[in-house]
Structure 1
Amino acid sequence: MSNEEQELRLRLAKMLATNGHLRTRPWREAVEAVPRHEFLRGGFFDRIDGSGPTAWTPITPHTPLWLERCYEDESLVTQIAGTIVPGDLRGEIMRAPTSSSTMPSLVVRMWEDLQVEDDDLVLEVGTGTGYSTALGCHRLTDERITSVEVDAGVSARAGTALAQCGYHPQLIVGDGLAGHAAGSPYDRVIVTCGLVSLPYAWVEQTRPGGTILATLGGWMFSSELARLTVNDDGTASGRFLGGQISFMLARPQSPPPLGMLPDIDQGDERLTTLGADVINDWDTRFVAQIAAPRAQRISLDRDGRTEHVLVDVGDGSWAALAETEGRWTVRQGGPERIWDDIETHVRLWREAGTPTLEKFQVTVTPDGQKITW
């Protein structure tokens, strides 16, 4: 370990503590001890800003300032398109990221919010690079951490990095949405991917009084970190913690390709007092997602105006909104009226005084997930 590496870790810990993310001594000691760069030896991708589609270029340990970048408080993309890692590429790629090293401030904030005790057994869903896993091992010991990762290659690289740093947790390759029943019951479950709905399997695998920490949202990409307590009756309930937290969605819950759009010139048309611009606001969009969690949003420029389209690929429902001379109209088609449902939810939320998302209640039962205010 070089002096530079040690200084970078100490600097990162100090910055995270100053900004209020590191709140307790055990977690600060973990950040000071775990070398994040060892979990980024395979490199990461840098975004290339431009007017066209997002492009990415590889940054490797041979790239100037690679080590310093590893200790910046930023998320670093480590995989593109499900298989491509930085070492596979020379030049640029225009595909979607599929794995990353989460920004350290969010990693440690989540561990702090999990409120672990020294003897807790923890299930981590989403091993990723293994950096978060290593922090958990340092704080709780290897034997108390089980980490599940759906991607065998990602898990293998994390395992190598963890071993290099002296950590040997139980690493499972599998669908994290199913948890890992063989190691249950857990005292804590921490989830490093986004969700549309929280799997009941996690509730079943957590002891009564235990905690589940996960990010919930929808396919319009407004999401929040929720902390739920598992109850004696087999349900889990809790609230959002605030902060507009975003993660890549769990692969089984990611939105499907839009494919061919429906004929949005057909359908029922009416005036609406609620325009598409309202869902530019994070909280309002979250409320809209409660009504239509599987609606995807796109914009189309047609006939000299912009149309805002919501599509639920699963059932074929859609809504298209446009503004003309300050008045909004909506056309809708398919088995459900997406915009009618969104209008109702937003109206009720506004009538309740637009409570902040921290005041919302999340409940998970064998029948599914419910979010209310």
Structure 2
Amino acid sequence: MSDDEFLREAMTERLAVGGHLRSPRWRQAVLDTPRHEFLRGGYFRRVDGEGATGWEPVMPEDPAWLPATYEDDSLVTQIAGTIAPGDIRGRIFRAPTSSSTMPGLVVRMLEDLQVSDGMRVLEIGTGTGYSTALLCHRLGDGLVTSIEVDADVSTRARTALGATGHLPRLIVGDGLAGHPDGGPYDRIVATCGVLGIPPAWLAQTRPGGKILATVCGWMYSSELARLTVEDGVAHGRLLGGRISFMLARPHLPPPLGTLPDLGPGEEREAVIGADALDDWTARFVAQLAAPRAQLLRLSLDGGEAHPVVLDVDAGSWASLRQLGGRWIVRQGGPDRLWDRVEDHVTRWQRAGSPDLERFRITVTPEAQTITWPN
């Protein structure tokens, strides 16, 4: 048995024991699909220091490379939208923009997709192509379409898929628009986060078909949702597990630009403090209240950094600070963001603070609604 086969078997067993890998067909797909082939271009290893987070390349000649490809970790494969591991020497201090998702999450999503033989699947976000290969193994190349916004990423995935014997339909384009020429699909699965389920996905899903995607917000709480489409409307629920993906590029928050003056504004004692949003579910609820707002920490007048909720486009903001044992909120702009957050979070708390698994989601071509039981 070769080193990579040994590592693949060990990873498969760990995923099964961890409850991520539950069915024989997906287990065989993982056993037969060499993840390292999809990381031939290397990956970036995180390096934490006293300043900004840095990233350094790890290439196939590094002894650490092969074992890392079979750990249950996400591995960053692109920085700043264009930079691959082979492009640099040393470290880079920019934000990741593409990665190979941790195998445990990949197989959990494939299990949750509930596919059966003969189903046609559209994958949003080809990435390295590893999850695409697993879909091809399970369903056959001809039933898998995968769309990727980045042409270079798609090209590398095509090469890796070919090296492992797969030839699915690969499309370069905006995954939020789907790919109507290949539809209708029995299943749509997204490997990026979205602020809302796009209407195009509803239109391209066969009646009774399912959509599996991670619903996110700019306060960076997110959850996996599975929806069934009927008559152009999708109904479903959140599946739990604190799933997190990079947002689809068109859904990234706007740049901060010139910040509004956070000095003047209406000030009062807060009913709920910023520390309430340390809770993952409370923060998800807060996002529903202020879906276009970001949660930041900003220094006012060069002093201590405080939590700030900011809607860049609207110019609305709420700044919070602690005074003794109380939280004080100051708000400005056309909307009172913290009023809305407090209203949603207190209603959720009065309902018994239900877990995200009890939330329900409905999507029409016009709107997305997420509710919790009262």
Cα distance in 2 for residues equivalent to 1:241 and 1:360: 9
Q: Percent identity?
A: 63
Q: 1:36-55 alignment to 2 at 5 Å? A: 36-55=35-54
Q: Normalising by the residue count of structure 1, what TM-score does the alignment of the two structures yield?
A: 0.98
* Counterpart contact for 1:125–1:192, Cα < 8 Å: yes
**Aligned-residue offset at 1:315:** 1.1
2:281 aligned counterpart, secondary structure: helix
Question: Deviation string for 1:159-205 (max 9, x for gaps)?
Answer: 00000110000000000000000011100001000111110110110
Cα distance in 2 for residues equivalent to 1:126 and 1:306: 36
Query: Among residues 222, 236, 239, which one is paired with 2:237 in the alignment?
Result: 239
**Aligned-residue offset at 1:313:** 1.0
Q: Give the aligned residue type for 2:233.
A: T
Cα distance in 2 for residues equivalent to 1:196 and 1:129: 23
* Counterpart contact for 1:268–1:331, Cα < 8 Å: yes
Cα distance in 2 for residues equivalent to 1:227 and 1:84: 33
* Counterpart contact for 2:202–2:365, Cα < 8 Å: no
Question: Deviation string for 1:96-116 (max 9, x for gaps)?
Answer: 000000000000000000000
**Aligned-residue offset at 1:51:** 2.2
Question: Deviation string for 1:211-247 (max 9, x for gaps)?
Answer: 100000200100000000001x210010011000000
* Counterpart contact for 2:115–2:187, Cα < 8 Å: yes
**Aligned-residue offset at 1:304:** 5.2
Cα distance in 2 for residues equivalent to 1:304 and 1:169: 55
Q: Normalising by the residue count of structure 2, what TM-score does the alignment of the two structures yield?
A: 0.98
Deviates more, 1:101-110 or 1:313-322: 313-322
Cα distance in 1 for residues equivalent to 2:124 and 2:190: 5
Aligned length, in residue pairs: 371
1:149 maps to what in 2?
Answer: 148
Cα distance in 2 for residues equivalent to 1:201 and 1:251: 17
2:165 maps to what in 1?
Answer: 166
2:256 maps to what in 1?
Answer: 258
1:225 aligned counterpart, secondary structure: strand
1:205 maps to what in 2?
Answer: 204
Cα distance in 2 for residues equivalent to 1:371 and 1:115: 22
Question: Deviation string for 1:135-181 (max 9, x for gaps)?
Answer: 00000000010000000000000000000110000000000000000
Cα distance in 1 for residues equivalent to 2:95 and 2:237: 31
Cα distance in 2 for residues equivalent to 1:203 and 1:173: 20
1:267 maps to what in 2?
Answer: 265
Cα distance in 1 for residues equivalent to 2:112 and 2:13: 19
Q: Give the aligned residue type for 1:224.
A: E
Q: 1:108-127 alignment to 2 at 5 Å? A: 108-127=107-126
2:344 maps to what in 1?
Answer: 345
* Counterpart contact for 2:148–2:172, Cα < 8 Å: yes
1:93 aligned counterpart, secondary structure: coil
Question: Deviation string for 1:66-119 (max 9, x for gaps)?
Answer: 111110000000000000000000000000000000000000000000000111
Q: Give the aligned residue type for 1:328.
A: W
Cα distance in 1 for residues equivalent to 2:338 and 2:103: 38
**Aligned-residue offset at 1:305:** 4.2
1:23 maps to what in 2?
Answer: 22
Cα distance in 2 for residues equivalent to 1:172 and 1:369: 27
Q: List structure 1 segments (4+ residues) > 2 angstroms apart after TM superposition.
A: 300-306
Cα distance in 1 for residues equivalent to 2:50 and 2:332: 33
